[in-house]
């Protein structure tokens, strides 16, 4: 029985001049990729104070409440407004807190429900 062919077998192998034969686009063949680089925080950006635990606990309970719909891919305020538009009556203190801390990404976005 014959080995299955790959679609790439029908194309000729082309090497760029100056590239070593064992290297593939800047890394060694078979080597795992390194960790993605995390940009260092710049001192130019103003840092907002960390939110208090009671606020984060209230937002966490809002995140875990399935009756307000899914929370992936949207901000907490967008989720609150969608639930309000659907007549699900989300808690108004959540909206007030989200509007008050609008510039704080820890409050605006849901990062990790399990690790808070």
Q: Which of the pair, 36 or 89, is modelled with greater confidence?
A: 89
pLDDT tier, 42 (very low <50, low <70, confident <90, very high otherwise) = low
Average per-residue pLDDT in the chain?
Answer: 77
Number of neighbouring beta carbons within 10 Å of residue 79 = 23
Tokens 């984060």: give the residue.
56
What span, in angstroms and rounded, lies between the C-alpha atoms of 101 and 40? 24
Q: What is the mean pLDDT of residues 25-52?
A: 58
What is the structure's pLDDT at 78? 93
What is the structure's pLDDT at 116? 45
Q: What percent of the chain has pLDDT over 70?
A: 67
Strand partners, 28: 23
């Amino acid at each position: 029985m014959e080995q299955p062919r790959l679609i790439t077998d029908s194309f000729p192998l082309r090497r760029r001049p100056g590239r070593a034969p064992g290297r593939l686009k800047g890394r060694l063949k078979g080597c795992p990729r390194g960790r993605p680089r995390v940009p260092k925080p710049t001192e130019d950006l103003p840092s907002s104070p960390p939110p208090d635990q009671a606020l984060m606990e209230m937002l966490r309970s809002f995140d875990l409440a399935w009756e307000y719909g899914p929370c992936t891919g949207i901000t907490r305020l967008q989720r609150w407004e969608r639930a309000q538009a659907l007549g699900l009556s989300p808690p108004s203190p959540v909206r007030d807190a989200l509007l008050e801390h609008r510039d704080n990404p820890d409050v605006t976005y849901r990062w990790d429900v399990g690790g808070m």
